[in-house]
Amino acid sequence: MTAATTNSYDEVPYTSFPFPDTHPDRLATIGRLFGLSPKDISQCRVLELGCSTGGNIMPMAELLPDSTFLGVDLSQRQVAAGQQMLAELKLKNIELRHASITNVDESYGKFDYIICHGVYSWVPDAVQSKIMSICKENLNPAGIAYISYNTLPGWHMRGMVRDMMRYHANRFGDAPTRIGQARALLDFLVKASGDVNNAYTSLLKGEVELLKQCQDWYLFHEHLEEINSPIYFYQFVERANAHGLKFLGEAHVKSMVPGNYPPEVEEVLQRLSNDIIHIEQYMDFLRNRMFRQSLLCHTDQKPEYGIDPIRLRGLHIASALRPNSPKPDLATTAAEKFQTPFQPNTVTVTDPLPKHAIMILAEAWPRTLPFEHVVREARQRLTPALKGDAAAVTRDEQTLGRMFLQFLTSPVDRLVEVRSRPLPIAREPGDRPKTTKLARLQAQRGVPAVGLKHEMATLGQFEAEILQRLDGLRDRTRLVDALMGVVNEGKLTVSIDNKPMTDPAQLRAAVGQGLDLALKRFADLAYLVE
């Protein structure tokens, strides 16, 4: 395999998105929670193997100007597209290189974080071995590597559906025809199973329904590629160990917690083994897990999995939790319910100190606050006259730290965010709202724009027109003027009761109102720069 080789990713490009779980901030945070001392991400080196067009590391590079990023990909077409975007952004701390993973050697240097997302299961054994070798030879002593891969036993069923599609689709030539034929087979499988109700047909219909929702590029590369080799977790760890690497943890810490099972299940897991590798494998059996995002480090590192709440010192906390009551009781032990806008589940808190801490984070959302600041401010609000000594502060840190760690490892998503550094997020649009240059360019191109939390949101045409103009130079009047120009050109239509508005004053008022609502949403979604 050489850098000049064309491949299926030139024929059917793989859409390149930001993956929050791969961000150096996530890796550094997990490393610190487990007692390691990874490199500060504000001045680090990052390597991504299989970078596609750079959609994952490009926003990292823009927000971390003093760090350097290198992406490697075998698809010349995708690398060229990414390089064109970089030329427009004029970023100097990132390079996308057309090369094979097998070309990476000592000349590439050492990296603090190595990312390999969506590659390992789809390459030959020799390349899989090379990925492990790179994570060993090119990783700094305190570095952390991320590798995602398909796992068994979950992939047994999905692999069966993949085999059926490949058997049928591979009789045809070009990629679009093969994709179309694969989808036709899926439809046939569902219809042919009729009303039969057994374990096989239930699993089959579930997999088919999931695949029908996938984009063509995903179906092609996930299910029609020649290679897709899922493995058991313990086998992955054995391969890592053979290369002098150690399992550190998962990108989602909550997936590592046996306590998310009923107590009797957790008790059995603990009896089966006190070794984290064995417990992780047993949990995969219970969950029928089909995908992992594992973190690796050098074997001389000594992660400690019993997380002491004190390890939150120096980290930054955010939470979208809001009280259900308009006037929550923060002074007594009365139970108060809190809820995020992301899901209907609530958490109940009785201790006044944690209730104050949640309110402090609610006022700051979507920004983060230093853990120590939240501790001090919560105590100050609860008992203003009390000046705690070091022991009292430590007790408060333990109380709030335990709550935040419970939130972090809860089966309920997004109760809390823990980060290694603050983000330059603006809570309010301000006089001249601004987003990143990359988000503006993406909105201009009509592709999903990435926010400051390395996440994307679905934007309507009106919102995209606004986002691409948030350069920090336009005030509200100039933004309304620009949007009115788009309306007058016929690119946007403003309607009331399904009838287009024509009165200029009504139009301008409606555009201004829509602008205010969009800016508020952009602030909540962390698109606005401080």
Q: Strand pairing of 495-496 and 499-500?
A: antiparallel
Residues 347, 338: Cα–Cα separation, whole Å: 5
**Percent composition of the chain: helix, strand, coil (DSSP 3-state, to 5):** 50, 15, 35
Instruction: Specify the pLDDT at position 189.
Output: 77
Query: What's the whole-number mean pLDDT along residues 155-177?
Result: 81
d(CA 265, CA 271): 10
With 90 as the cut, is the pLDDT of residue 291 above it?
Answer: yes
For residue 87, give the amino acid letter.
Answer: A
pLDDT at 5: 45
The pLDDT assigned to 180 comes to: 84
Structure tokens at 140: 């700094």
CA distance 488 to 491: 8
DSSP string, 329-388: --SSS--EEEE-TT-S-EEEE--HHHHHHHHHHHHHTTS-EEHHHHHHHHHHHH-TT---
Note whether 151 and 255 are within 8 A (CB): no
Q: What is the pLDDT of residue 21?
A: 96
Tokens describing residue 106: 């000592």
For residue 215, is pLDDT > 90? Answer: no
Separation between Cα atoms, residue 60 and residue 146, nearest integer Å: 15
Render pLDDT for 387-439 as a digit per residue (tens, 0 to 9). 768 888 999 999 999 999 999 999 888 999 999 999 999 999 999 999 999 99
* Angle at alpha carbon of residue 91, lines to 85 and 96, rounded to 5°: 60
How far apart CA 237 and CA 284 sit, in angstroms, is 14
Pairwise CA distance, residues 341 & 238, whole Å: 41
pLDDT given at position 257: 85
- pLDDT at residue 281 above 50? yes
Between 268 and 229, name the one with better pLDDT: 229
Q: Which tens digits make up the pLDDT trace of 239-274?
A: 999 999 999 999 999 999 886 677 777 777 777 667
**What's residue 501's pLDDT?**
81
Residue 371: closest CA among 5, 69, 29: 29
Angle value at C-alpha 17, between 57 and 129, nearest 5 degrees: 65
Kindly state the percentage of the chain with pLDDT values over 90.
68
Each residue of 453-472: pLDDT tens digit?
Answer: 999 988 899 999 999 999 99
From CA 460, how far away is CA 450, in angstroms rounded? Answer: 14
The pTM assigned to this predicted structure is: 0.89
Q: What angle do CA 231, 11, 148 make, to 5 degrees?
A: 25
- Give all strands (DSSP E) within 373-480, no chain letters: 417-419
- Residue 3's pLDDT band, with cuts at 50, 70 and 90, is very low
- Residues 210-219 have a mean pLDDT of 74
CB 343 within 8 A of CB 393: no
Query: In the CATH scheme, what architecture does the domain 8-151+230-257+284-298 have?
Result: 3-Layer(aba) Sandwich (3.40)
Q: pLDDT digit string (tens) for 482-491?
A: 999 998 888 8
Distance (Å, whole) CA 266 – CA 259: 6
Q: Using one digit for the tens of pLDDT, what is the confidence trace for 64-78?
A: 999 999 999 999 999
The amino acid occupying position 436 is T
> 5-9, 12-16, 224-228, 262-266 — which is least confidently predicted?
5-9
What contacts 292, CB < 8 A, 6 or more positions away? Answer: 148, 149, 151, 233, 236, 250
Q: Which is higher by pLDDT, 63 or 211?
A: 63
Q: Provide the pLDDT confidence category of residue 2 given band limits of 50, 70 and 90.
A: very low
Token duo for residue 35? 């007692």
pLDDT band at 9 (very low <50, low <70, confident <90, very high): low
Higher pLDDT, 441 or 191: 441
Mean pLDDT of the chain: 90
Residue 311 pLDDT: 96
Q: Say if residue 207's pLDDT is above 50.
A: yes
Domain ranges of the chain: 8-151+230-257+284-298, 155-223, 309-419, 437-524
Angle, vertex CA 300, rays to CA 294 and CA 306, nearest 5: 60
More confident residue, 124 or 493: 124
